[in-house]
A = this chain, B = another copy of it.
Amino acid sequence: MSTNERPFDLLSKSIGQKVFIRLKNNVNIRGRMASFDAHMNVVLEEAEELDGGDLKAKLGTILLRGGNIIFVSPA
């Protein structure tokens, strides 16, 4: 842990990696992060909507608006 790190560094390190994203209204999404911007908008590839731990729907590539995100976690 370094005090010089910034929160978005976690997104930079997650490029090309699987991430888990919880959205407002308890929707959970999993996918591989292709890109992000300063608003926390993210593009996920092979995105899946989850219901608990189970697959609910395959979404393919999606552009997710940052404003709907509660948290992002490396999967």
A→B interface (CB under 8 Å): 1, 3, 5-11, 15-16, 23-25, 27, 32, 34-37, 40-43, 45, 47, 59-74
Contacts and interface: CB of A to CB of B under 8 A. Distances in A.
A59 B73 contact: yes
This chain: copies in complex: 7
Contact of A37 (B8, B27, B32): B8
B61 A73 contact: yes
Contacts of A10: 43, 61, 63
Contacts of A6: 35, 37
Contacts of A27: 70
A34 B59 contact: no
A27 to B, nearest CB: 8
